Chain A
Amino acid sequence: MSEAVLTDSGDVLPGGGDGVVADFSADKQTFQVPWGKAMMWFFLLSDTFIFGCFLTSYMTVRMSARDAWPVPSEVFALSFGGDPIPLILIAIMTFILISSSGTMALAVNMGYRGERKKAFWLMMATAAFGVMFVSMQAFEWTKLIVDEGVRLWSNPMGAAQFGATFFMITGFHGLHVSVGVIYLIVTGLRVRSGYYDRTRGNYEMVEITGLYWHFVDLVWVFIFAFFYLW
């Protein structure tokens, strides 16, 4: 697919493979994006390798562990009076995080349309989803630690590495979500106060925040698959 792309300014840019060649042989800049956005891409690429190493280590450790690995559908089950429902909490958490990506995408759109109020509130909604996610994670940790006696270094249900990898990796991800919440609030407040109108006249910052948020969301999908479905 090498169709030409018509930009806002009416320039015809080559698309597809030709476009890539054109971008890389251009002077001044390679990607037609602001610096902050490019830098966020590179950061996320690097962060991908961090999570990649964590998850690969988890798989290795899980395979080399001598004791049995706990069955996820039992460990992560929750009962509301009746029979335990497997993975119910995590299903809700995942749903919440995915929804937050939706509100984030809307916020980016509103930002570019210059609807500061709406963008602000959508970002706050995203942050609120984030807080909910982290709180539910705290709840899950408490349940594992207090009720089931799982520790970072031991696990009454079998392999000690279960506790170690679980707390380390979900903790590291939870940290990412928490940082994202702070990031969202800071950017959101600046959107509301019109800071970006004054400093750069556009709302690409919302999109950059969004990139980070979607990434954290995407990583969760992998953690979810590897910890809860395997």
Chain B
Amino acid sequence: MAYVAIADRDHEQELHDPTTFITKYIWSQDHKVIAIQYSITAMFVGLVALGLSAMMRLQLGFPDSFSFITPTDYYQFITMHGMIMVIFLLTALFLGGFGNYLIPLMIGSRDMVFPYMNMMSYWVYLVSVIVLLASFFVPGGATGAGWTLYPPQAILPGTPGSELGILLMLVALALFIVAFTMGGLNYVTTILQARTRGMTLMRMPLSLWGIFMATILGLLAFPALFVSAVMMTLDKVAGTSFFMPAILSMGETMDHEGGSPILFQHLFWFFGHPEVYIVALPAFGLVSDLLSTHARKAIFGYRMMVWAILAIGGLSFIVWAHHMYVSGMNPYFGFFFATTTLIIAVPTAIKVYNWVLTLWQGNIRMTVPMLFAIGFIFTFTHGGLTGIFLGNVVVDLPLSDTYFVVAHFHMVMGVSPILVVFGSIYHWYPKITGKMFNQTLGKLHFWITFLGTYAIYLPMHYLGFLGVPRRYYAMGDTEFMPESAFTLNQGITISALIVGAAQFIFLYNIIVSLKKGKDAGSNPWEATTLEWQTPDTPPKHGNWGPELPVVHRWAYDYSVPGCRDDFIPQNMAPDDVPMAADSVSQSPDVGTHGSEGETDGPDGEPVA
């Protein structure tokens, strides 16, 4: 039985029309409101995590000066900082925030396919955040097991928060997974099934490809975390021994025996590595759109970019044990996982080349979003290169668990996605609010954050080579540690505090611009994608007015020769494209331009 697509039906999707303040702004089913709720909550916990990192840095830079930071506190801070940043900030912000906002607008639909479920996704996420933060206030405090939560120590007495903190952490994770699943099913189904007329998959902006693949990774990777959370909870409360071997603790044998701690590591990293790409792929996608728009040039190698995203997503499931080289494994496994890890560098490098080639000879506008996007290319390349070191078993063994690793993952999955987050917030801010932010403050924010990042993390590579271990409260008087290590740590701390403070410039900017900002107009960046073509700015409930838009071209028609403007919106029909006055005689074929000159599609778009 053939099924009629939504864009062809007489009766379109029925939307729940809000009537009261509550249903409009709080208990709302509108994807845009949900996106904003997600983003604000995520940024709030992100601030908490930033505060925690400031405390850690104070302790590391000036040991013994802050009596209120005890070793126990330090471990709790480290754990909560890591977990919040990776999951409750970045995952939630990219998928719950940008995913929710951009998917329906970019594919030309009125909302997600199941808005009610989408709304529930946010509320469950909120509960998970509350449970997580509550763990600071229970007896024993938050868990201090490290964000990897490795058993057996995660649940043994002696680890901070091994009473209630770890349980609340596991519950918060399980809730987050439930929330993510409700949202994620919506994102995938909406992208595949609810596109508007003319919107083929290969005409979608790369932002959507990134978000789409990241969501699929999430749907397939979070199960491993869920299962390990269930089993660890049982180990903790029911005395089972899934992950617990026979242990002698304080001279007494414990009740556990026969479990496998390595099993947890496998499950955790089967989730954990794809998780890296859950935050990286949306960043890849969004940054591609920022670069293309502000360089006034089609993204270089669109199809290659799509396939690279798919390849990275697929490969990310077979590299996980590169996090476990020091756990000990069969040398052939080490060989296998090192090989797959290095292979994944190939599609990743392709993406980097394509970003750079997109800038090549572009008509670059150095706007604030563009600065962040270019900054991302630097930090990501940098973090990616150190990843190649760590992917090799013999190089990893001495570097594992040192500050080299801390530097690597902060560059590649901390700073880089965060730069894209900022760039994208600045980029879409005019659409979301209708106002323009303050450019000067935005540039100030960029330069402090970007240069500060290097001031923080470059020296950490050196510390790692010296052998400074990660997750240490203090180095103490260690023979092999030269004086310079301590000086560097002070410098890093000062930079970190400055960078942390600079984030308030950002908050100030986006809050004050809500009131004071100039009206931005509907398409201030002169972008081609559908979200900039909405009849209202900010878009109203239902997004499109009476008629859904019809898409005639791919997302990257910038600087098409012979046209009056240097961009052609995706929903502009070939006959409507305004021509440059002096080129009428040249009969430019505005209907036919795809990536790399291949124009096989009905409207001249590249064909898969």
- Which one of A21-29, A71-79, A181-189, A216-224 is at the B interface? A21-29
B495 within 8 A of A: no
Complex: A29 Cα to B258 Cα, angstroms: 50
Interchain CB contact under 8 A, A35 and B193: yes
Q: With A29-B194, A60-B260 given, is the CB distance from A53 to B1 under 8 Å?
A: no
Complex: A24 Cα to B202 Cα, angstroms: 9
How many chain B residues touch A (Cβ–Cβ < 8 Å)?
A: 56
B432 within 8 A of A: no
Name the residue in A28, A38, A53 with the highest tally of chain B Cβ atoms < 10 Å from its Cβ. A28
Residues 171 to 194 of chain B near chain A (Cβ within 8 Å): 181, 185-186, 188-189, 192-194
A138 within 8 A of B: no
Interchain CB contact under 8 A, B195 and A27: yes
Specify which chain B residues have a CB less than 8 angstroms from the CB of A25 in the assembled complex.
200-202, 607-608
State which size class the interface on A falls in.
35 or more
In the assembled complex, the CB of B59 is this many whole angstroms from the nearest CB of chain A, namely 37
Specify which chain A residues have a CB less than 8 angstroms from the CB of B185 in the assembled complex.
39, 42-43, 46
Complex: A9 Cα to B2 Cα, angstroms: 8
Between A and B, how many residue pairs show CB distances below 8 Å?
Answer: 148
Specify which chain A residues have a CB less than 8 angstroms from the CB of B5 in the assembled complex.
28-29
Chain A residue nearest in CB terms to B5 = A28
Interchain CB contact under 8 A, B223 and A53: yes
B114 within 8 A of A: yes
In the assembled complex, the CB of A161 is this many whole angstroms from the nearest CB of chain B, namely 6
Interchain CB contact under 8 A, A28 and B219: no
Chain A residue nearest in CB terms to B218 = A46
Interchain CB contact under 8 A, B263 and A57: yes
Interchain CB contact under 8 A, A64 and B260: yes
Picked from A35, A42, A49, A61, the residue with its CB within 8 Å of the CB of B223 is A49
In the assembled complex, the CB of A82 is this many whole angstroms from the nearest CB of chain B, namely 36
A66 within 8 A of B: yes
Specify which chain A residues have a CB less than 8 angstroms from the CB of B203 in the assembled complex.
27
Interchain CB contact under 8 A, B199 and A61: no
In the assembled complex, the CB of B104 is this many whole angstroms from the nearest CB of chain A, namely 13
Q: With A25-B202, A46-B219, A61-B260 given, is the CB distance from A38 to B193 under 8 Å?
A: yes
Interchain CB contact under 8 A, A161 and B259: yes
In the assembled complex, the CB of B254 is this many whole angstroms from the nearest CB of chain A, namely 12
Residues 255 to 270 of chain B near chain A (Cβ within 8 Å): 255, 257-260, 263, 266-267, 270
Interchain CB contact under 8 A, A39 and B231: no
Complex: A7 Cα to B198 Cα, angstroms: 22
28 contacts between A and B (CB under 8 A): A21-B608, A25-B607, A27-B199, A29-B192, A29-B193, A32-B2, A32-B3, A33-B193, A34-B3, A35-B113, A35-B189, A45-B219, A49-B219, A49-B221, A49-B223, A50-B223, A57-B263, A57-B267, A60-B263, A61-B242, A61-B258, A64-B258, A64-B259, A152-B238, A160-B241, A164-B234, A164-B241, A172-B230
The 10 A-B pairs with the shortest beta carbon distances in the complex, nearest first, are: A28-B5, A49-B223, A153-B239, A164-B240, A53-B227, A50-B223, A46-B219, A64-B260, A35-B113, A30-B192
User: Knowing that A61-B242, A152-B238, A165-B242 are A-B contacts, what are 6 other residue pairs whose CB atoms are under 8 Å apart, sorted by A's residue number?
Assistant: A28-B7, A45-B219, A46-B222, A53-B267, A153-B241, A164-B240
